[in-house]
Structure formats: C-alpha cells, structure tokens
Structure 1
Amino acid sequence: MSVAVFLQGPHGPFFARLAKRLSQLGVVTHKINFNGGDRFFGWGNAQVDFTGREVDWPAFFRRYLSEHKVDTVFAYGDCRRLHESAKKVCQSMGVAFIVFEEGYLRPDFVTMEWGGVNAFSSTNWSRQAIHQYLPRGRTPASPVGHTFWRRAYFASAYYVAMRLAQAEFSSYRHHRNRSWLKEGVCWLRSFYRKGLYKITERGLIRQLTEEFSGRFYLFPLQTCDDFQLRKHSDLLSIENAIDVVCKSFARNAPEDTVIVIKHHPMDRGFCHYQKLISVLEARYQISGRVIYCHDLHLPTLLDHAKGVVTINSTVGISALLHKVPTKVLGRSLYDLPGLTHQGSLSNFWQQPEPVDTAFFRRFHTYLYERTQVDGSFSRGITSTVDGVCDRFQEMGVKGSILPVSKPAGTDAKTDAK
C-alpha cells in the first residue's frame, strides 16, 4: 500500500481534494502543517503540526518518512526553504518528490513534475529527446476562466488562519518576508490599482499596436520575490534587472524603437517601478523611449512586439508561440538553441535569432504532454485532480502510487465552480 505525504500546497483546497481522492483510491495520506493556513486548508488520513525550528526540520522529516514507510511526497514549489530540505531528504532516501507549480503554459494548466520544476526540472529537455518523442495526441480541455477573485479569497483566508495560529507555530518563518497585515493592505491596493489602470492605460494599447507596431521590445517583469529570480538567475532584484535591460537597450537598440516594461499583475499592489524607470531614462538618455504599463492584454502585445526580453518568465513560452524572438536573462527550461536567442543581450537588439517554429511545435507538445495537467489550483479543482490521477495512471506501475485501474465508483463529477 502506498503512503503519501503532503507538504505546503497552493493557497486553497487543492491539496486537500487531491489527498481525499488518493485516499479513496487506496493511498494512505499524511499532511504536515507548518502554520495555521496549512492546517486550515489541509487534509490527510493523518495530520501533524511541525512546530519546531527550521534547523530541526530535516531530521524530523527523515524520521517521519522512515516511521510511516512513505514512498511519495507532494509539494507546491521546490525552492521554499522547507521544501528544499525535504527534497534533499527524499533524494537521499529514494522517496519520490512530486512538485506542483503554476503552469508552464498559462493560464489553463498546472505543472506537475517529478523531482523539481523550472530550471530544476528532471525532464530531459535536449533537442534529441524532444525530436524523438512520440506524441500521445492529448488535447487541452476547456479554458478555466478568471481566477483572480478566487485566488485572492483563498490567499486572504490562508493568511488570516496563519495569523490566528501564530502562537502555536512561533518558529515558522514564511518564505515571503511580509506580515499578514502588509499582505492584506497590498491586496487592497491591488484592487484599487486594477481599476485605476483600466482608466489611465485606456489608449495605450492602440498606440502600441498602431504607432509602435513592430518597433517595440517587451520586457515582462516577474514578481519581486519570485523564486525564478532568486534561484534561477544571477540578477540581484527586479530593480537590478530593469537597470541591466534599460542600459543595454540604450546602448544597442535601434533609435526608432521603444521598450515596453510590463508590470506583473500579481505584483500590482506590492511594488511600483515608475520612479526608478524615470531615473534610468534620464541616466541613459532614453526619455520618451520607455513605456511602463500594467494590465495590457499580453497576446495583443506579443502580436506586435519586435522582440521579448525576460528573466525566465513563462511569458517567454507565449512569446515563442507568437514567433517573437526572445532573450532569456536567467536559466529556463525553454532557453534552447532554435527557440531563444543564444547570443548576448547587446547583440539581441540588432540581430535577434528567429524562432524555429517547427521545433517549437514539437517542444510545445512535449512540454504539454510531459509536464502539464489541464486545470487550475483555484477553479474547477475536481477536474484538475482528475488530471493528476490520470497522469499517475499513464505512468503505470513504474511511476504511479495508484493501482493500474481505478476502483469502481470512485470517479467524481467535475467541479464546475
């Protein structure tokens, strides 16, 4: 009988729903909680609160896996300090470490990989593996729809529960260095700014698609505390990245071009870079050639962009889909010859390497079928859980913690919420 442990999951009931389904299918499930938010949304045949110090966690976790004969561990993200330690323990004990993350393909997919995600992916991303892959013919499900308000609700509930149980988990330190009060204020500011930008940026999309069509480079920002920046690049911060890109643009880009710096929508209420950009415009003498925006429709921008510069955002995959030359500043699984610009950033502005569209189609299919599950962590959760279980079934005995066929009567109806 398989035994699975759930660590921290995405905000909301996704991990609880998955644990319940696996339990129905014969898997013994455990949930380890690190704070009140984990416990509020958590579920398992057995639950335990880890209230010790972070330095004590690896030894505790090793004993727990051994005592309960655990063969599989689930985690959301592999770069949180607790998950980094857990991953090392799993590797040393031969326990499967399955990582979920937001979809490499957005917005209607979630990522599910064995061992790690993003630049830590254990999937073979070589050209040979991609070319030799035989597609299974999977077709995407229906779009998920808008998830912003539900995500905001789940996040708010998580942080309130975390705050209420703070005394019980006094040693816990969240991977984001913000208090629950600051988090709430930032989300309220995000709601306000979302409405404000609908007004202030109303005519900007027309200007970019008409006056600057084919003459602007897009630089989509990532969240200020993104692990992609902290773990998968050598850049110091988003501010540092903006400085590097603006300086290179000023020195090397054609004089009739502009650069569009697009703020990350999930960071709308947490930070703002207009003052920095104004300073850099003056410093590098590119006043009037930098456009800072927030909530413009990304596919429309990509249809008219001359090129895309990214740290390692999944927007880079969208850019490749739109056949837009792309330069990656960090480390990313899609930064491959034939897909992205392999030369320097300074060279990119003048001579960007084109996208090999035939190779990208093969890459896209490979990425989708090997790492993506149709659905969302916050909407239509039951159908996402179905997709996860289907992936286990596809793995068969070798990589699955489930029986080869599901017991009768355990299928659930799709959650239409």
Structure 2
Amino acid sequence: MRVMFLQGHPSAFSRELGQELTRRGHRVCRINLCFGDWLFWHGRGTTNYRGSFDDWEAWIEARMQADRTTHLVYFADRHPYHIAAQRAARRLGVVCLSYEFGYLRPDWILVEEGGQSAFSHFPDDLGDLRRIALGLPQPDMRRRHGHPFWKEAVQEMAYHLGNVLLAPLYPGFQSDRVDHPVVEYLSYLPRHVAARMARRDAGRLMERLSRGKERFHLVALQMAGDYQIRANSPFADPLAFLRTVFRSYAGMGPDEGLLVVKLHPMDNGRLPWRKLTRDLAKEFGIAPRVLFLDGGNLDVLLARADGCVVVNSTVGLHALQAGCPVKALGVAVYDIAGLTHGKGLDSFWTDPQRPDPEGVAALVRVMATALHVRGDFFSRDGRREAVAGVVAHMERGIARQMGAVCRFPPRLWKLRQMGLCAAPWDPALQQAEGRGSGQDRGG
C-alpha cells in the first residue's frame, strides 16, 4: 500500500500507525496543515502544506497522483480539508479511510471507509446485517484501557493553542472550530465549578427517576460544535433540535409523564443550557413537565425511559442495546428500519417502535468486527492494540471481505430529504447513489 495521512487525532496514534505500516513494508507519508499536526508527527516522510484552502484540492490531487497513493487516512471525515481531499481521492480511485472515536464505547476506535453517518458505506438493511452477522461472536464490551483526563486535555490544548500562537508558520490554514480555542478552554473553568454544584441536583433527580413511579422520555443533547449536527442533520445547533422536540411534545406528548433533557457531559458551558431549556419549556407551555439533568447515570436512565430522542448521538446506539425505543432526527448509522422508530416524532411519544433485540445484537456484532478495533488514543497499550487492529483492517480489507461495505453510501438520500447536500464528492456518485442501498457492494 501507499498510504497518505492527513490530519490526525491530537495524540501519537497516527504517527505510530504510520510507523507500523512502514515496518511492514508499506510506503507512508503525512501532510501537515498546521502546527498542531507538526507537533504530533514531523520529520522523515512528512510534508508541510502552507498554501491556501482554495488551492488545497488541486494540490493534494496532484500529490496523490505523483505518489501513486492507494489509501488516504484521516481523523474526522467532515473536516473541510478532508472533504476536498476525498473528492480528489475518489477521482483517482484511492480508498478513503476515516477513523474516529467509536460508535461502541468506551475504548473502541472506529475505522470506516469514506466517513460517518450519511457518508458511511455501512449497510442500512437489517436483513443484510443479520446475514453478515451469522457466525460472528458477541463482542466483549468490558473496558480494557483507560487514561487520566489530564493527558487528553493537555494534548488537545497543545494542538489547538499551538495553532493559534504559531499561526504565522502556516499562513493559509483555516480552522474549522466554532469557538476560538482560547475562549473555549477558558469556558471550561466556570463549567467545571458549575458541574460540581450540578452533581448534587443530578443525584436528587436520579433518585427520583430511578424510583420507577414517574414515566419519562429522555432527550440527549450533543455539543454545539459537533460535526454530526452540522453535517448530518437539519439542525443548525442543539437549540434548534430542542425546539423541534418541545414543539412536538407539547402537541402530541402523553397526558402524563416527564421530558428529561440531559446535557452532554463534555459540554463547554458556553451556552446556559439550563436556562435555555427552562425558557423554551415555558414558551411551549410544558415547563412543569420538563426536567434538566447535568450528570447522572445514562445506563440507569435508559433502563427506565419510555424512549430516547437524539439527533444522531451514540447515546442512541446505547439506548438500542438497552432495549429502549429510539427516535433519531438526524442521520445516524444505527437508524435502521426494525431497530429505531421509523415514523414521525409526533407518534413516538405514545406509540414508539421498540427495537428488535436480535437485530440490535446483529448490528453490534457486525459493527464490532467490520468498523471497529479495540484500543485507546492516549494510553500506550491502547494505542498498540488499536494500531495492530487498524493495520489488519487495511491489509486484509476486513469490512469488504465481510460484505459490510456498500458501493455507494446508503444514507445519503436522508440528507436529500432534509434539504441538505447529498454528497461532498462528484455528481456521478449523487446520481448513482439513488439506485438503492444494500444491493451494490464492493469497490
């Protein structure tokens, strides 16, 4: 293989993956776009791109063609530079591999052809998944690896603050972050203090909900800057999602019951979500029935909830595994007929479609084998296991061998229904994608 790496996770993972591929006889190069990239991988085999974003696509296409690149590897498929590189790679027939934090958690890493959600090539037909899952073992979900939070925080801050402080070294680089890194990181200080206070309220609320006397639906918020919202949903931000949910619940929700809004545990505190939730609930006349939860045990909530509403968070997959009905309002890889609620949101409150347990088990078995490797970005042992797993996926083409790669991303039509751009690459793919989801597999 001739492997080109683009921007990676702010850790040693991509560099160690490249080193192992090189050790096994493959040719590897890395393109650095900013100081943060250079910080985690520099030296032999790396190239610094300091041009403009407007020139990037033509430059990377010429570079891949000259290097006879066979595989393009990147972290986060919706990064603007990666979208442009995908367009170029597809014109050249280069295999695109995106890696991310896993759909399965914790300590699973995702390695997926093309991208995630609407841009995933993973099958969306439950019958196909059942067939592929035959003979696959049920994965061991017990945690194997871990790391102290400070290590993750320090490396994340080094990457993004380094980009700010040493921006003149890469004058053409355009960041894709919603908030300025300095503002974002400073906002975590009051958030950290507020979270300590919120834990007491969360404890009381969890005790109330776990008693089993009150019925409730869970609404899981995602982070405001999450690309899964920005690129794979009809919502501009989580507040627009919450407004849609409250409007539906006010008109079609059950006569009795509660709506529990759970804040994302890594929310940076930039938005006053408790106040926004309270004000929005008052606007729709449901304030007495809406509870805001900052903290709490997700597993306990899902075991008790009548249903869970998400945009496309991995909380939805956890809910399915817990047997909890799920309504996904964005494009999610687990949003599959027979597993999630396929009708409109209004009907979900009183007549939810329950997930098929055997179908969920099949989905998890295929996901674990075809899309994931065990491992962790920050611990040495976790990286070692993950690197070995990714190398095996790349060398053996595991997902393709299993038939778990559709030729065209089968969920793109959902973006069309939402009025969003169907594909980030060539028009021919947009046209061909409409021929069906699960039948056309392979290269």
1:103 and 2:95 are equivalent in the alignment = no
Name the % identity. Answer: 28
Question: Residue 270 of structure 2 aligns to a residue in which SS?
Answer: coil
Task: Tell me the alpha carbon deviations over residues 152-175 of structure 1, each in whole angstroms, 9 at most, x when there is no partner.
Answer: 121111123212321111221211
- Aligned match of 2:5: 6
- Evaluate the alpha carbon distance shift between residue 116 and residue 44 of structure 1 in structure 2; reply closer, same or farther with a 3 A threshold: farther
1:296 and 2:319 are equivalent in the alignment = no
Deviation at 1:323, TM superposition (A): 0.5
Deviation at 1:188, TM superposition (A): 2.7
Contact 2:3 2:73 (C-alpha < 8 Å) held by counterparts: yes
Deviation at 1:279, TM superposition (A): 1.7
Q: Which amino acid aligns with 1:118?
A: S
- Aligned match of 1:309: 309
- Aligned match of 1:415: none
- Distance in 1 separating the partners of 2:100 and 2:395: 20
Question: Residue 288 of structure 2 aligns to a residue in which SS?
Answer: coil
- Aligned match of 2:225: 225
1:39 and 2:41 are equivalent in the alignment = no
Deviation at 1:193, TM superposition (A): 3.2
- Aligned match of 2:241: 241
Question: Residue 29 of structure 2 aligns to a residue in which SS?
Answer: strand
Task: Tell me the alpha carbon deviations over residues 309-343 of structure 1, each in whole angstroms, 9 at most, x when there is no partner.
Answer: 11111110100001011111111121111101111
Task: Tell me the alpha carbon deviations over residues 180-227 of structure 1, each in whole angstroms, 9 at most, x when there is no partner.
Answer: 3113202333433332322332312101111555x1111111110111
Task: Tell me the alpha carbon deviations over residues 5-50 of structure 1, each in whole angstroms, 9 at most, x when there is no partner.
Answer: 1111112111111111111111222111111111101246411111
Q: Counterparts of 1:86-101 in structure 2 under 5 Å?
A: 86-101=85-100
Deviation at 1:122, TM superposition (A): 1.0
- Aligned match of 1:318: 318
Q: Mean alpha-carbon deviation: is it higher for 113-122 or for 269-278?
A: 269-278
Contact 1:16 1:44 (C-alpha < 8 Å) held by counterparts: no
1:166 and 2:162 are equivalent in the alignment = no
TM-score normalised by L of structure 2: 0.85
- Aligned match of 1:386: 388
- Aligned match of 1:266: 266
Ranked by relative contact order (alpha carbons within 8 Å, sequence separation 6 or more), the top structure is 2
- Distance in 1 separating the partners of 2:42 and 2:3: 12
Q: Which amino acid aligns with 1:15?
A: S
Q: Which runs of 5+ in 1 are unaligned?
A: 400-417
- Distance in 2 separating the partners of 1:122 and 1:188: 40
Question: Residue 110 of structure 2 aligns to a residue in which SS?
Answer: strand
Contact 2:320 2:355 (C-alpha < 8 Å) held by counterparts: yes
- Aligned match of 1:331: 331
TM-score normalised by L of structure 1: 0.90
Provide runs of 4+ in structure 1 moved above 4 Å.
396-399
Contact 1:268 1:294 (C-alpha < 8 Å) held by counterparts: no
Q: Counterparts of 1:10-409 in structure 2 under 5 Å?
A: 10-43=9-42, 45-133=44-132, 134-137=134-137, 139-140=139-140, 142-145=143-146, 148-210=149-211, 212-213=213-214, 215-379=215-379, 380-395=382-397
- Distance in 2 separating the partners of 1:276 and 1:352: 27
Question: Residue 202 of structure 1 aligns to a residue in which SS?
Answer: helix
- Distance in 2 separating the partners of 1:163 and 1:235: 29
Aligned length: 397
- Distance in 1 separating the partners of 2:300 and 2:398: 41
- Distance in 2 separating the partners of 1:396 and 1:336: 22
Contact 2:319 2:325 (C-alpha < 8 Å) held by counterparts: yes
Deviation at 1:105, TM superposition (A): 0.9
Q: Which runs of 5+ in 2 are unaligned?
A: 402-443
